[in-house]
Amino acid sequence: MSARRMVAVGFIFLLACAGWWILGAATTVRSTEFSRRLGAQVERLWGTPLVQEAPALAVQIPGSEQVRWLMPSRNDIKVELRADYRKKGLIWYPTYTCSFDGTYTIANAEDVAQKVRLHFKFPAEEATYDGFAAAVDGQALLAPVDTREGIGEIVELAPGESREFRVAYRTRGLRDWRYRMDPHVGRVRNLNLVARTDFKAIDYTEGSLSPMSAEQAADGMTLAWNASDLITREDIGVVIPERLNPGPLTSRITYFAPVCLVFFFILVATIAVLYGIDIHPMHYLFVAAGFFAFHLLLSYMVGLVNIHVAFVVAAVVSVTLVTSYLAAALRGRLPWKVAVAGQVFFLVLFSYSFFLKGVTGLTVAIGSVVTLAVLMKVTARVDWNEVFARAGRGARPAPTPPPLPAVPAAKAGPDGML
């Protein structure tokens, strides 16, 4: 390949990079716009991250306005979290349903009767609560409820008496669920919190307590936090696993496209050297367009169909376009099986590695090393001096055709006639 053709191929590559940058930016803007605009709608329709606080217990000190904070002598809590994803635009939101059932034992260890002020705060002020129940020793509290203010109740306890406060509800949340100890006491006694999930990809909120046990169940996990006397200011939190978001994923695949194309260009150039095929820069232009078709289809199909279906359709279309074009343009001189394998490896496999969280870099690194090893092996015996000399000779002008033979002159007859 002459220097002029190399410059032309380089310009084509930069032109393709510009196209991918524009497409990736457009997909990112679409995803960000949907996330910002529709995220608020999801929170209004479905709910926000839930933070359930332990009930606050206080006893007023006689003769003053100060209070003394108490803690339940026992905390038995059962939580069930079920993922129920919602899709808006190009984003899947990790929404879930929460069933909460907590029983708190309030004990009077004093020698005198006490009036304990109980306050229970709802995990989200604007949320909707179904199957709500609140009771003290089985007697339901039927007073009006304001989710912004919570529940307030005065529990009278005789000396040495214990009473149970139970609260249960079903509601919906987003992203994560937290349980927060009473910040007034910073301590919890006889904690027994069991959370059951219908998902196994468990993660915990930042700075939260890890469970004392985590066991797999039939359809999820059973997490348990148990402590006899725990002093902590950390929360207990579970993160709802996120589904694969098509918008951000497609953007990352699009921005990575130039790496796939440069590998394929190297493959085509190597084939041209080994097989002595004259590949024009226009061929490289249409190959780049075939690669671009993959990302263009993928970017606009993910909003309509499943991302895996969109990926397969876009890959089949792109591979068919590039392979059939090279086979027709080069009149069968290009080994089409090698071209198919190269595009599947560099475009399809490298792009699909983005679906596998945490292994994209490793996949690309291994693919690069394997490609280098193959190219080194197949070109080890190539005389590069001859290759570049042949490229230089290819730029010389066409030879001048030989002159036509002279036509002999006709002789005149005796009468002067030819």
Separation between Cα atoms, residue 123 and residue 180, nearest integer Å: 10
Q: Are 94 and 85 in contact (CB under 8 A)?
A: yes
- Choose the weakest-confidence range: 134-143, 314-323, 338-347, 380-389: 380-389
Domains for the chain: give ranges and CATH numbers: 3-32+245-393 (no CATH), 49-239 (2.60.40)
* Mean pLDDT for the stretch of residues 324-334: 81
The yes-or-no verdict on residue 401 having pLDDT over 50 is: no
Q: Residue 179 corresponds to which amino acid?
A: Y
Position 170 confidence tier, pLDDT thresholds 50, 70, 90: very high
More confident residue, 220 or 395: 220
* pLDDT tens sequence across 341-368: 888 888 888 888 888 877 777 887 888 8
Cα–Cα distance, 154 to 115 (Å, whole number): 6
**What span, in angstroms and rounded, lies between the C-alpha atoms of 157 and 136?**
12
The whole-chain average pLDDT of the chain stands at 83
Q: What pLDDT is attached to residue 103?
A: 94
pLDDT tens digits, one per residue of 22-49: 998 888 877 766 655 555 666 677 778 8
Cα diameter, the chain: 162
345 alpha carbon, distance to own chain's centre: 22
Quickly state the pLDDT bin for 164 (edges 50, 70, 90). Answer: very high
What's the pLDDT at 122? Answer: 93
Q: Is the pLDDT of residue 395 over 80?
A: no
Nearest to 118 by CA among 158, 67, 160, 78: 67
Q: Would the pLDDT of 195 be above 50?
A: yes
Q: Which two tokens stand for residue 227?
A: 């402590």
What whole-number distance in Å separates Cα of residue 411 and Cα of residue 404?
A: 22
Q: For residues 93 and 35, what is the distance between their CA atoms, to the nearest angstrom?
A: 9
Position 155 pLDDT exceeds 90: no
For residue 335, what pLDDT is reported? 77
Place 93 in a pLDDT band, splitting at 50, 70 and 90: confident
pLDDT in tens, 178-193: 999 888 888 889 999 9
Give the model's pLDDT for residue 272. 80
The answer on pLDDT for 161 being more than 80 is yes
Q: How many CB atoms lie within 10 A of CB 52?
A: 24
Q: Is the CB of residue 260 less than 8 Å from the CB of residue 253? A: no
Is pLDDT above 80 for 409?
no
How would residue 275 be classed by pLDDT, with cut points 50, 70 and 90? Answer: confident
- pTM of the predicted structure, to 2 decimals: 0.69
Q: What is the pLDDT of residue 408?
A: 53
pLDDT at residue 397, as a whole number: 45
Q: Nearest Cα to 351, choosing from 262, 248, 256, 244?
A: 256
